[in-house]
A and B are shown apart, each in its own frame.
Chain A
Amino acid sequence: MTERRFAHSIKVNDAKCIGCVACMKVCPTKAIRVRQKKAHISYDRCIDCGGCLRVCPHDAIIPLTTQLADLDRFKFKIALPSPVLYTQFGQEVMPNEVLAILKEIGFDHVYDEALVCEMINVATEEYLDENKSLRPMISSMCPVVVRLIQRLFPSLCRNILPIEPPREIAAKNLRAEVSEQHNLNPEKVGIIHITPCSAKMVSINHPESMARSHLDGAISIREVYNKVMMKLKRETGMLMMQTQNRISGIGIGWAIEGGEIRGLKYTNSVSVSGLLDTIRILEDVESGRLKNIEYLECLICPDGCIGGPLTVENRFVAKSNVLRLMRHFGGKKRVNGVLVKRLYRENFFSFKWAVEPKAFPPLDKDRNVAIQKLKSKEGLIKRLPGTDCGVCGAPDCKTLAEDVVRGYAKLDDCIYMCKGDLQSNGEKK
């Protein structure tokens, strides 16, 4: 493939960045530093949560998603929108209209992911039925959560449900089906997710559980939004002829927190959304506190994927739209359970390999040196003012101390330390 494959899904546009520290302050893994008035992302630490993208007041954080123009290299283009897309265009618009319009803006075929969400529910139940020794199992749906577990909770990698998320399964199925139907080289079929977050680019370019993703790219909802909106305005009423019976109400629910566990027979499941709450619950899992819970759905974005950083509609309105669509399509199961169970037996849904821990590096490879560094870090923290002003270019005093012992920064990057040193003769108590 000719496209450059990025290990990460966001980058800083230096021309727009003024070094205001907004992004640095919100980064949950302390991956951002400001140097010479520009933000720098350390890709060793970034988990692609999109927090920086949300807060940047200068539009200087760019999501590295696929562009519509990139699709020309495919002979046959298939859009596989996240169910979130259905919620972005107001109360009146139905999924089938959105799907029909995608076909008018350059896709040869469209596919509703919601139905596959239902299949994954069945596969998840099969897995939980058969594997009872480890609890809770954690959903693999959100790529940021997977990355977060690898980085911050490496011992929980084995708790990640080894079943691919709906977007991957849908793409896998589609490629086989469509290339056969249209007699095409599978490589010439481009299957493109329409995504509420750039994080999907990471799971596409660098999947953690297989050699190669079944998807060929992910276009942001923002990128298609205007095009779809224009067509909707112009052509209302004309697009209603598509059948609706294949849309799954249960699957649409996956767009909000709790949607995944709602379809499970395991009612002792918990759903969490938002970065801080996800971290908190994973801490509890690591402490062995939540063993009585069967399944844990974690979504990094507030309220779930409808709160994704690349969505357009206000997430509260989008949530109400999801609920309305769920009511409309009902809670009836639309998948053939027997078929899904057979596919499950054939490992159709399974990871090729387990997600591996990728813990953040310790202060030093040598444990004794790391301990020395930890001690000097603690000494430094006591000396620093604790105001977390960010002027030094690190998000807070603790992180500056860590940067100093790691050799990435100097103590006198702190403006208080320069001043303090000058005055220190007289006033030490």
Chain B
Amino acid sequence: MNKSDARSEVLFQQKFPIRGGDFVNAGDSSCKIRNTLREIGIDSDIIRRIAITAYEAEMNVVMYAERGVMSINVYRDEILLTIDDKGPGIENIDLAMQPGYSTATEEMREMGFGAGMGLPNMKKNADTFKITTEVGKGTRLEIKILLDGKND
């Protein structure tokens, strides 16, 4: 196997369904991801960054979409977190990415959400952050976090 193959091979993958509106179980998937990463010896600071992004992404699906799937993919040098949802999509991504922008309802704000910091926080903690969306269909996030290269 040549070098680039080894790098692009998925070593481990886990998928978690997320249900829109399910505030009771919200946060479970990011919690499971965190445990998995601990077991395979990922550095605790990287785990924290992934925990934050996974949690924010999971919450956005719970708050705004119908349903979604979060998947974590471990590669040799990086971790890829993807979140696909079926939902309203985002009309104006630039606006949504602005710190403080939120369309959260009054009820959500009372629960402590809706500071408009989720997407900016994800971006801050990711090494690369990609968002694609189609209004009326859904949203996909691709978040990459690099592992320190010397770990093989």
Tell me the A residues contacting B by CB distance below 8 Å. Answer: 154-155, 283-284, 286-289, 292, 357, 359-365, 367-368, 370-371, 374-375, 377
Query: Which of B11, B27, B38, B39 makes the CB contact (< 8 A) with A287?
Result: B27
User: Smallest CB-CB separation from A364: which chain B residue?
Assistant: B41
Whether, in the assembled complex, B108 has its beta carbon less than 8 Å from a beta carbon of chain A, the answer is no
Known: A367-B40, A367-B151. 16 other contacts (CB 8 A): A283-B31, A284-B27, A286-B48, A286-B51, A287-B30, A287-B52, A288-B56, A289-B27, A359-B38, A359-B44, A364-B41, A365-B41, A367-B152, A371-B12, A371-B40, A374-B12
Q: How far is the CA of A365 from the CA of B74 in the complex (A)?
A: 16
Q: Which residues of B contact A155 (CB under 8 A)?
A: 44-45, 47-48
Interface residues of B in 24-53 (CB under 8 A from A): 27, 30-31, 34, 36, 38-42, 44-45, 47-48, 51-52
Q: Which of A283, A287, A359 has the most CB of B within 10 A?
A: A287
Q: Which residues of B contact A371 (CB under 8 A)?
A: 11-12, 40, 74
Q: How far is the CA of A357 from the CA of B47 in the complex (A)?
A: 13
Q: How far is the CA of A292 from the CA of B121 in the complex (A)?
A: 14
Query: Which of A154, A284, A374 makes the CB contact (< 8 A) with B39?
Result: A374
State whether A370 touches B27 (Cβ < 8 A): no
Q: Which residues of A contact B56 (CB under 8 A)?
A: 288
Closest-CB distance, A109 to chain B (whole angstroms)? 44
Q: How far is the CA of A283 from the CA of B38 in the complex (A)?
A: 14
Closest-CB distance, A375 to chain B (whole angstroms)? 7
User: Smallest CB-CB separation from B113: which chain A residue?
Assistant: A289
Q: How far is the CA of A286 from the CA of B41 in the complex (A)?
A: 17
Closest-CB distance, A404 to chain B (whole angstroms)? 14
Closest-CB distance, A238 to chain B (whole angstroms)? 55
Q: How far is the CA of A286 from the CA of B34 in the complex (A)?
A: 10
Q: A367-B152, A371-B74 are in contact. Are A288 and B52 (CB under 8 A)?
A: yes
Q: How far is the CA of A371 from the CA of B9 in the complex (A)?
A: 13
Closest-CB distance, A380 to chain B (whole angstroms)? 14
Q: Which of A360, A364, A367, A377 has the most CB of B within 10 A?
A: A367
Q: How far is the CA of A367 from the CA of B78 in the complex (A)?
A: 12
State whether A368 touches B38 (Cβ < 8 A): no
Closest-CB distance, A129 to chain B (whole angstroms)? 24
Closest-CB distance, A398 to chain B (whole angstroms)? 11
Tell me the B residues contacting A by CB distance below 8 Å. Answer: 11-12, 27, 30-31, 34, 36, 38-42, 44-45, 47-48, 51-52, 54-56, 74, 112, 121, 151-152
List 30 A-B residue pairs with CB atoms under 8 Å apart, sorted by A's residue number: A154-B44, A155-B48, A283-B31, A283-B34, A287-B27, A287-B30, A287-B51, A287-B52, A288-B51, A288-B55, A288-B56, A289-B27, A289-B112, A359-B38, A361-B41, A362-B38, A362-B39, A362-B40, A362-B41, A363-B39, A363-B41, A364-B41, A365-B41, A367-B40, A367-B41, A367-B152, A368-B11, A370-B39, A371-B12, A377-B39
Q: Which residues of B contact A360 (CB under 8 A)?
A: 38
Q: Which residues of A contact B40 (CB under 8 A)?
A: 362-363, 367, 370-371, 374
Q: How far is the CA of A287 from the CA of B32 in the complex (A)?
A: 12
Q: How far is the CA of A375 from the CA of B38 in the complex (A)?
A: 14
Q: Which residues of A contact B121 (CB under 8 A)?
A: 288
Q: Which residues of B contact A288 (CB under 8 A)?
A: 51-52, 55-56, 121
Q: How far is the CA of A364 from the CA of B121 in the complex (A)?
A: 32
Closest-CB distance, B115 to chain A (whole angstroms)? 8
Q: Which residues of A contact B51 (CB under 8 A)?
A: 286-288
Q: How far is the CA of A360 from the CA of B35 in the complex (A)?
A: 11
Closest-CB distance, B63 to chain A (whole angstroms)? 13
Query: Which of B41, B45, B47, B152 makes the CB contact (< 8 A) with A370?
Result: B41
Q: Which residues of B contact A375 (CB under 8 A)?
A: 12
User: Smallest CB-CB separation from B54: which chain A residue?
Assistant: A287
Q: How far is the CA of A154 from the CA of B45 in the complex (A)?
A: 8
Q: How far is the CA of A367 from the CA of B149 in the complex (A)?
A: 12
State whether A289 touches B55 (Cβ < 8 A): yes
Q: Which residues of A contact B45 (CB under 8 A)?
A: 155
State whether A283 touches B39 (Cβ < 8 A): no
State whether A287 touches B74 (Cβ < 8 A): no
Q: Which residues of B contact A292 (CB under 8 A)?
A: 112
State whether B47 touches A374 (Cβ < 8 A): no
Q: How far is the CA of A362 from the CA of B40 in the complex (A)?
A: 5
Rank and list the top 8 A-B pairs by shortest CB-CB distance, nearest first.
A362-B41, A287-B55, A155-B48, A154-B44, A288-B52, A370-B40, A155-B44, A371-B12
User: Smallest CB-CB separation from A402: which chain B residue?
Assistant: B39
Q: Which residues of B contact A287 (CB under 8 A)?
A: 27, 30-31, 51-52, 54-55
User: Smallest CB-CB separation from B53: which chain A residue?
Assistant: A288
Q: Which residues of B contact A362 (CB under 8 A)?
A: 38-41
Q: Which residues of B contact A289 (CB under 8 A)?
A: 27, 55, 112
Q: How far is the CA of A357 from the CA of B36 in the complex (A)?
A: 18
Q: Which residues of A contact B11 (CB under 8 A)?
A: 368, 371
